[in-house]
Structure 1
Amino acid sequence: MAIHNICVFCGSNSGLDPKFADKTRALGTYLAQNDYQLIYGGGNHGLMADVAEATLAANGRVIGIIPHFLAAKGLALKTVTTFVETQTMSDRKEKMLHLADAFIVLPGGFGTFEEFIQMLSWSQMDIHQKPIALYNIDGFYDPMVTMMQTATKYGFAPQENLDLFIDGHNLDEIFSGFQTFKHILPPKYTN
């Protein structure tokens, strides 16, 4: 499957270390320079704004998708190429899933974790077959990867489900992982 539209999940805060914003902006520039369209949560703060503004600054295309209640609080970046308001957070994720060919998960907080886990869960249930990559900047996601490995160790998920996502520490690992990704669905109930 060709990848044209990449959905990025990330924090609406920037984090305490400037490297997160630097690498997020580098991703936005990379997306634009390689003719990928960015799909993201539509926010105007934190890493969300960084990835969108960097993509736009490099003449890329950006679809921002935000629920009405957040847009009403003035949290939307309306200068994107295409701006979409949804009724709910769930509608937002459904729209992102429909439009995206692949997902990249940058550092973020609880909302970002939830988005990653939902897309991963939907992948294991065969709701979609799209590649998902953790952008594991400086090991940010190591504890989450360890927790998923622990779930497989104790028989709560099949070992093969660890292949449903890419643990990428740089853009080369992520995009080469996208090129070789194969959605293989093991039996969910293994014990």
Structure 2
Amino acid sequence: MRSVAVYCGSSPGFNPVFRAAAEALGRTLAQSACTLVYGGSHAGLMGAVADAALAAGGKVIGVIPDALVSREVAHRGLSELQVVGSMHERKARMAELSEAFVALPGGIGTLDEIVEMFTWTQLGIHRKPCAFLNIGGYYDSLLAFLRTMVAQGFLRQAQVDQLVVAERIEDLLPHLAAAQPHPAGRLADIDRELAQTRP
């Protein structure tokens, strides 16, 4: 795997294990000769993953909207900083540059980014794996809610099964490399499955 997009908080969070995980992921990507693609900020977990990758000799590409550059949150020490016009362009560009998508702990923006990439898999827009790095059980409640979606007929188990969920950094890249995502959650398939289960 040559490039991975990492989504994570622009804040460090309250638990120091989150920052440690971001730094470990940055080092791991660099040591694996895998380019880190991320949101281009110097702050929070975003800055931590980028700084760790750079310190380990890795390549880091940041993609940031112009409005955020003007607020002086852009990381100025990256291998490459790409400035785009909007948040939508940022997500699209990061998707183009990356072969897989990983969510570290983060807020609504992080959730928005990884869920959109997961949706694109469901719709067959790409076949790139999506992963949650579930440090300290951070994503346990979200994963439980996905199971609720399955139970209520809004999501297929086959689609959920394609998500990579790792609790350890060392498990992440091997699981991503082995993943074979496919558009298993098309609405027509869901409707057909529901029809088969109705009495």
Structure 2 length-normalised TM: 0.92
Instruction: Map 1:24-103 onto structure 2 (within 5 A).
Output: 24-103=22-101
* C-alpha distance in structure 1 between counterparts of 2:2 and 2:90, whole Å: 19
Structure 2 gap segments, 5+ residues each = 195-199
The one-letter code sitting in structure 2 at the alignment partner of 1:182 is Q
**Deviation of the 1:184 alpha carbon:** 2.9
* Higher Rg of the two aligned structures: 2
Instruction: Find the residue that maps to 2:161 and give its secondary structure.
Output: helix
Q: Distance between the aligned counterparts of 1:79 and 1:183, measured in 2?
A: 34
Q: CA deviation at 1:173?
A: 2.5
- Structure 1 residue runs of 4 or more that deviate by more than 4 Å after TM superposition: none
Q: Is the 8 A contact 2:24 2:169 kept in 1?
A: no
How far is 1:174 from its partner? Answer: 1.6
**Alignment root-mean-square deviation, CA:** 1.0
Identity %: 35
Larger displacement relative to structure 2 (93-102 or 168-177): 168-177
Q: Aligned pair in 2 of structure 1 residues 26, 187: CA closer, same or farther (>3 Å)?
A: closer
Among 138, 143, 153, the alignment partner of 1:140 is 138
Structure 1 distance, partners of 2:120, 2:177, is 21
Where 1:164 maps in the other structure, the secondary structure is coil
Counterpart position of 2:12: 14
- Distance in 1, Cα, partners of 2:100 & 2:115: 14
In the alignment, the residues of structure 2 paired with residue 13 and residue 187 of structure 1 have an alpha-carbon distance, to the nearest angstrom, of 33
Which deviates more from structure 2 when the two are superposed, residues 172-181 or residues 3-12? 172-181
Contact conserved, 1:123 with 1:164, CA < 8 A, in 2? no
| 1:183 maps onto 2:190 in alignment | no
Size of the alignment, in residue pairs?
Answer: 189
The separation in 2 between residues aligned to 1:59 and 1:172, in whole angstroms, is 19
Deviation at 1:165, TM superposition (A): 1.2
Are residues 1:120 and 2:128 paired? no
Helix, strand or coil at the partner of 1:176: helix
1:176 deviation in Å?
2.0
Please state whether the residue corresponding to 1:44 is helix, strand or coil. coil
Contact 1:40 1:64 in 2 (8 A): yes
TM-superposed CA distance for 1:178, in Å, is 1.2
Give the superposition deviation at 1:183.
Answer: 1.5
Does residue 104 (structure 1) correspond to residue 80 (structure 2)? The answer is no
1:34 shift after superposition: 1.1
* 2:160 equivalent to 1:162: yes
The aligned residue for residue 197 of structure 2 is: none
Task: Give distance in 1, aligned partners of 2:133 and 2:168.
Answer: 7
The gaps in structure 1 that reach 5 residues or longer are none
Q: 1 CA distance for matches of 2:184 and 2:25?
A: 32
Equivalence for 2:170: 172
Deviations 1:107-142 (A, max 9, x none): 000100111111111110011100111000011001
